Structure 1
Amino acid sequence: MALHLVLLVVGLILLTAGAEGLVRGGASLARRLGLTPLVVGLTVVAFGTSMPELVVSLSSALRGVGDISLGNVVGSNIFNVGVILGLSAVVSPIRIQLGLIKLDMPVLIGISLLALGLALSGSVSRGAGVVLVLLLIAYTAFNIRLARKQTAAAVAQEFEEGVPGPTASWLWDLLFILGGLGLLIYGSNLLVNSAIALARAFGVSEAVIGLTLVAAGTSMPELATSIVAALRRQSDIAVGNVVGSNIFNILGILGVTAMVRPVLAPGISRLDLGVMVAYAVVLLPLLWSGQRLDRREGLLLVGGYLAYLWVLWPGT
């Protein structure tokens, strides 16, 4: 068991390093091509930090371990709100200025309900995957267009500071991108193998491992990004990172994974899916009430996650 825990940690480290390399190279390349920091932040950075979840879900689905594949998506969305956003608010109360939240939060609630319906139907088919990916493309295009028109100068400055700058040359961009992809693929193989072995060793289901250890581990890039943003008082990046990541997890990760192979996850329960939807619904009034997420509300989010874990593990 100890060896599998070590390999799991190594896999997570490789995934995090791979995502960092991919984001750095991709952001640099995008800025060389003339994209603004705002657009880069909403696309390359947001999608890049979700790459660990994508490669892990794909790898799991290809091996026929649908519970880890879907559990990673559902668990990551729960972890992102309950732990990442909650801890960010505890570190530094978050003021909500980004007007796009008015669009993003209803979208997150809507697609969370859609994911709930798809999962309860028995499987997420290739056709459903195509629909999810098309929704992601439409959402991203609309978001970029709206951001260019409505984003305030202060928010644009936050993205300017938060997006990685160009590297020394195009060659370094490509090396970062290719190296990051390589680390992501190798790290995902280590993580999935270790997760399956740990599930057997602990005597729990693969779904529980996917919902907890795998989901929390693959969310480390988002955790680091949001905590640093909170410490720097970059509130919009902290919130936008979580909300954007959760949207991408459902539309992008679940969508692409289902397109490659239909996702069957009988181990993911109504409780797990319900908690994911509940967090999305509860987050909306918290963000809009006074346009501030304070420490007390942050502790409430973290407490909810701990309660979910308490219910989840003994039930196995």
Structure 2
Amino acid sequence: MELVFNLLLIAGGIVLLYFGGEALVKNAVVLARTWGISSMVVGLTVVAFGTSSPELAASLAAALTGSPDIAIGNVVGSNILNILLILGVTALLAPIQAQAQFIKREVPIMIGASLLLFVFMYTGEQVGRWEGLASVVLLGLYIWFLYRSSADENPAVLGEFDQEYGQPVQTGWRTYAGLVLGLVLLGVGARLLTIGAVELARAFGVPELVIGLTIVALGTSLPEVAASITAALRREPDIALGNIVGSNVFNILGILGLTALVQPVGLPWESIQRDMWTMLAASVLLWPFLATGYRLGRREGGVFLGLYVAYVAFLINSASQNGAG
């Protein structure tokens, strides 16, 4: 009975996170367009960061309730899932070939953000408030870089983002109410998901880190799944890629940075290093496809998806062996 209750908590938390993220993104896009921000910058910042809002809510909730392993596992697991699973499925549905030059430039930034975690690991046992502040400052510079780069972009790419995010909008009390509702749903959903995940981990003897890397990461990444698959079906590959790359950068610099500012996050180096290397390898694997202009086709999507299945199987196997030991 307790198992069913914990699973219901996790499922309910994921549902609330999904709808909370959707409400936040939808209304944040309306506000950003009202303020005169270009549709491309909206797509690469407001939407990419907005779809990462469930990860932020879940990581904050986990850190504040004394489960730092779930917080760090959520960030690392979401980044692995975004590239291998979401881009893999997206490429299977519709081959991806990026036209946007700046997305190709962003991938090294994503790799650099991943490497920053290794720096934090080697310089201390936690991401403290100073590291969190440095991460948030770097995120601000990244947003400024996007804003400056978008002015020199390919007209076809600009049109793609205008079609998706450039519609005339009107703000009113419903927009602000939607923002508040989204934040409330995110907060409640994150709390339910964290409680359910921690109790499930304890019941089965599975490390909280593994729960964070799998169940929590998948649950909080649902907005990225929806956004990327929708963009792929509409034949808008740059939006799908921009969402994933932007989300991965925000997951490390924004989520981990903001979480550490509120509550320093311990880094379980011995147990997380394997997953950090996997995250870095997945990021590096994506780079050749964008740097050379070679498309991410169905064959490559299948490889990405296969790698993710193998990674999760390895996690489950390792957890079962540790439990047996």
- The TM-score with structure 2 as length reference comes to 0.93
Q: Tell me the residue number matched to 1:297.
A: 300
- Please give the secondary structure, in 1, of the residue aligned with 2:126: coil
* 8 Å contact from structure 1 (residues 70, 268) kept in 2: no
Q: Tell me the residue number matched to 2:184.
A: 182
d(CA) in 2 for partners of 1:187, 1:128: 27
* 8 Å contact from structure 1 (residues 68, 206) kept in 2: yes
CA displacement at 1:166 relative to structure 2: 5.9
Q: Tell me the residue number matched to 1:215.
A: 217
Q: Tell me the residue number matched to 2:140.
A: 137
d(CA) in 2 for partners of 1:188, 1:166: 33
1:164 and 1:156, CA in 2 relative to 1: closer, same or farther beyond 3 A? closer
- Please give the secondary structure, in 2, of the residue aligned with 1:315: helix
d(CA) in 2 for partners of 1:260, 1:166: 37
- Please tell me the residue identity of whatever aligns with 2:250: F
* 8 Å contact from structure 1 (residues 8, 195) kept in 2: yes
- Please tell me the residue identity of whatever aligns with 2:236: Q
CA displacement at 1:169 relative to structure 2: 3.8
CA displacement at 1:260 relative to structure 2: 0.9
Among residues 14, 17, 22, which one is paired with 1:15 in the alignment?
Answer: 17
1:96-135 mapped onto 2 (5 Å cutoff):
96-120=98-122, 121-135=124-138
What are structure 1's unaligned runs of at least 5 residues?
Answer: none
d(CA) in 2 for partners of 1:137, 1:110: 15
CA displacement at 1:164 relative to structure 2: 7.7
1:258-299 CA distance string (max 9 Å, x none): 111110142742111110111111110122344311111111
d(CA) in 2 for partners of 1:268, 1:57: 18
Q: Tell me the residue number matched to 2:289.
A: 286
Mapped pair 1:62 → 2:64: yes
1:224-239 mapped onto 2 (5 Å cutoff):
224-239=226-241
1:308 and 1:125, CA in 2 relative to 1: closer, same or farther beyond 3 A? same
- Please tell me the residue identity of whatever aligns with 2:25: V
Q: Tell me the residue number matched to 1:306.
A: 309
CA displacement at 1:154 relative to structure 2: 1.5
Quote the sequence identity (%). Answer: 48
Mapped pair 1:274 → 2:277: yes
| Alignment length (residue pairs) | 315
Q: Tell me the residue number matched to 2:162.
A: 160
1:9-44 CA distance string (max 9 Å, x none): 111111111111111111111112222211211221
* 8 Å contact from structure 2 (residues 59, 71) kept in 1: yes
d(CA) in 2 for partners of 1:129, 1:115: 11
* 8 Å contact from structure 1 (residues 37, 159) kept in 2: yes
Q: After TM superposition, which residue ranges in structure 1, 4 or more long, deviate above 3 angstroms? A: 164-169
Name the stretch that deviates more: 179-188 or 266-275: 266-275
CA displacement at 1:168 relative to structure 2: 5.3
What are structure 2's unaligned runs of at least 5 residues?
Answer: 320-325
Name the stretch that deviates more: 231-240 or 158-167: 158-167
d(CA) in 2 for partners of 1:167, 1:155: 21
d(CA) in 2 for partners of 1:15, 1:180: 9
1:268 and 1:156, CA in 2 relative to 1: closer, same or farther beyond 3 A? farther
d(CA) in 2 for partners of 1:285, 1:169: 42
- Please give the secondary structure, in 2, of the residue aligned with 1:97: coil
1:216-247 CA distance string (max 9 Å, x none): 11000001100111111100011111111100
d(CA) in 2 for partners of 1:248, 1:20: 17
Mapped pair 1:264 → 2:252: no
d(CA) in 2 for partners of 1:48, 1:281: 24
- Please give the secondary structure, in 2, of the residue aligned with 1:94: coil
- Please give the secondary structure, in 2, of the residue aligned with 1:285: helix
* 8 Å contact from structure 1 (residues 19, 180) kept in 2: yes
Mapped pair 1:241 → 2:246: no
Alpha-carbon RMSD across the aligned residues, in angstroms, is 1.4
- Please tell me the residue identity of whatever aligns with 2:256: L
CA displacement at 1:162 relative to structure 2: 2.4
Name the stretch that deviates more: 67-76 or 151-160: 151-160
CA displacement at 1:110 relative to structure 2: 1.1
- The TM-score with structure 1 as length reference comes to 0.96
* 8 Å contact from structure 2 (residues 161, 239) kept in 1: yes
